Amino acid sequence: MEPKYAACVVLAFSLMIITIHYLQPNGAVTDATQTASLSLNASQYPAKKISQSMFGISFEEINHSGAGGLWAELVSNRGFEAGGPNTPSNISPWTIIGNETSILVSTDRSSCFDRNKVALQMEVLCDIDGENICPAGGVGVYNPGYWGMNIEQGKSYRVVFFIRSLQPVEMSVSFIGSKQQKLATSDIKDDGVENWKKVEMVLEAYGSDANSRLQLTTSKRSTIWLDQVSALPLDTHNGHGFRQDLFDMLAALKPGFIRFPGGSFVEGDRLMNAFRWRETIGSWEERPGRFNDVWQYWIDDGLGYFEYLQLAEDLGALPVWVVNIGISRNDQVDTSLILPFVQDTLDAIEFARGDASSTMGSARAAMGHLEPFDLQYVAAGNQDCWKKNYRGNYMKFYNAIKGAYPDIKIITNCDASAAVLDHPADLYDYHVYTNANSMFSMAHNFDHTSRNGPKAFVSEYAVTGGEAGRGNLLKALAEAGFLIGLERNSDAVEMASSAPLFVNENNQRFNPDAIVFDSSKVYGTPTYWMQLLFKDSNGATLLDSTLQSPSSSLTASAISWTDADSSRSYIRVKVVNFGGNTVNLDLSVEGLDINSIEAAGSTLTTLTSTNVKDENSFNEPKKVAPVVKALKNASNKMRVIIPPSSLISIDLQLKSNVIQVAGSIGAHASL
């Protein structure tokens, strides 16, 4: 125990408000220790069930979350389409190895793939035996991936590309490290590539470098066309293409749902660039890719509609598909012309849910997923309620989807928390980006909203602005207060997720974010760690609790839940102390027999730091992370000391003979 808290412990169970000097996060010395009490009822009936999908994740193709992030493809602009359909075109980030006396590189529209016609042409002028001798190592092109490829010794990488040449081909395919060292290589020789041919190989790395590149070189005079060059590590999650370390971060959150693929990305700055599910399914080399015009980068669409559904399934999360209903940030389809868009969405739903013999279900089955995906939620647009055609288009989508799939829950963009909706919906989308104080006080936002209409889907919340830094403790605590409010109002709120989820350190388009990564490393911001303390609330029972506190900087909630792995039941009390004072919290658990709590398995988890502006980083990934301690004095009545600026989670393990009744713990349930 830190010495600064020791004085507080001596005073356990004292109801006196004592005063000690405490060094505040900002360096100021204030007088403070306050006493508060929280009493909760573990035996209430009927139980108040929190939605099984209360806390989830909102995945948007922003900040290179997918391309150059969760989608493990190492090659950027693999089909040479990023420069647009017209040639000559910019092939960035591909780069030439050699100079114009040894190689000429250009693009033409000779690809064998109809939807992405641009191919790379390399005219190799030098030759190992000729007069114009090639530089050592040959000439060709290399791709640096997304700010460097992470190549790791002992790991294997599948490299695939399409090639054509009128001459026999001799080529080396290699991963090269940042000091020009070879990390893996393979040579190909082929005299029969007059027509496009697929080349596939597995390279095993004998060295490591997080800033590597893939290069294709030759020393033989020839003209070679290349297209659709891909390099994927073999160790992606379940072989499904998801970068394992980033997937693990998501899985640890046990998300109840995953909303995808945005956000504003779904709208597009203009409709012509918006996400089109149909162009993202089927074999990867056939996908045209698109310019993400909202967040300003090219994506090859390796992470497509199918992969999003697969990701949801792999995470055990319900997919929430956000559909563009003919509205972008700058243009709209008139409602009189919307029916083809509606049909397109019905086709997408059939792709996800139809059996393998249905037209679109068979397309899914052909991709290897015979069983339908569990698509139950469709969100109609993103932040579009105020747009002229929103209601007209929405109703066309609503009626068609409900007609074909009555069980699908449809989420409107219009806020039903303040006024009654003028259109039907199962849920309404609610976004909040604000400063820390407002976010914390928004814990009460849903206290008085209607319990009869559609429930809220808080699909994007975040503290933003300078005070949030790049994702600090202050942000996390304010958001934790907000989530406690959502939990307490879980009869009005069905789902919640922070936004944005991911950021590639090299291309932050939106700040702050929950998870930061580069080519080889990842860390969670305090917001991420905060969310971990809410993961067991999905499907839990909300317990009635009454907080008496001299300060409005304190907020709390209590749940009971059973751990699926151990079958052990717990009461969890979460408290956010948003203020600068230490608080002695006297906790009393009513409705439980006196010996129901097992002190040995009970814990106290604290998320705090010496300064609310503290952040994590690659160097200090867990500077602000939960610290778990045994709670040896756990019992029905106990005192817990809550540090200033902290989120704590008190986990009281119940004895195995204490049974749960209808989700809550009966007063006489102890056997």
Which parts of this chain interact with ligand AHR (CB under 6 A)?
60, 62, 262-264, 382-383, 460, 499-500, 510
Measured from the CB atom, is 429 or 651 closer to ligand AHR?
A: 429
CA distance 155 to 166: 34
* DSSP summary character for residue 167: S
Least distance CB 63 / ligand AHR (angstroms): 9
Least distance CB 81 / ligand AHR (angstroms): 24
Any idea which residue has 């399934």 for tokens? Answer: 313
Least distance CB 296 / ligand AHR (angstroms): 13
Measured from the CB atom, is 263 or 666 closer to ligand AHR?
A: 263
Phi-psi region of 444 (alpha: psi -120 to 50; beta: other; left: phi over 0): alpha
Closest-approach residue to ligand AHR (CB): 263
Least distance CB 307 / ligand AHR (angstroms): 20
How wide is the angle at C-alpha 509 spanned by C-alphas 301 and 307, nearest 5°?
Answer: 25
Least distance CB 60 / ligand AHR (angstroms): 5
Measured from the CB atom, is 151 or 503 closer to ligand AHR?
A: 503
Measured from the CB atom, is 66 or 372 closer to ligand AHR?
A: 66
Measured from the CB atom, is 382 or 584 closer to ligand AHR?
A: 382
Measured from the CB atom, is 390 or 561 closer to ligand AHR?
A: 390
3-class secondary structure per residue, 182-251: EEEEEEEEECCCCCCEEEEEEEECCCCEEEEEEEEEECCCEEEEEEEEEEEECCCECCCCECHHHHHHHH
Strand pairing of 627-630 and 455-463? unpaired
Whether the upstream peptide bond of residue 3 has omega within 30° of 0, thus cis, is no
Taking alpha carbons only, the member of 365, 351, 230, 361 closest to residue 301 is: 230
Least distance CB 300 / ligand AHR (angstroms): 20
Least distance CB 62 / ligand AHR (angstroms): 6
Measured from the CB atom, is 500 or 580 closer to ligand AHR?
A: 500
CA distance 317 to 57: 9
Strand pairing of 493-496 and 455-463? parallel
Measured from the CB atom, is 268 or 372 closer to ligand AHR?
A: 268
Strand pairing of 57-58 and 257-260? parallel
Strand pairing of 119-124 and 103-108? antiparallel
Least distance CB 608 / ligand AHR (angstroms): 27
Least distance CB 435 / ligand AHR (angstroms): 16
Strand pairing of 455-463 and 427-434? parallel
Give CA separation, 330 vs 86, 392, 573, in Å.
24, 17, 46
> What tokens were used for 427?
């849920």
Measured from the CB atom, is 326 or 500 closer to ligand AHR?
A: 500
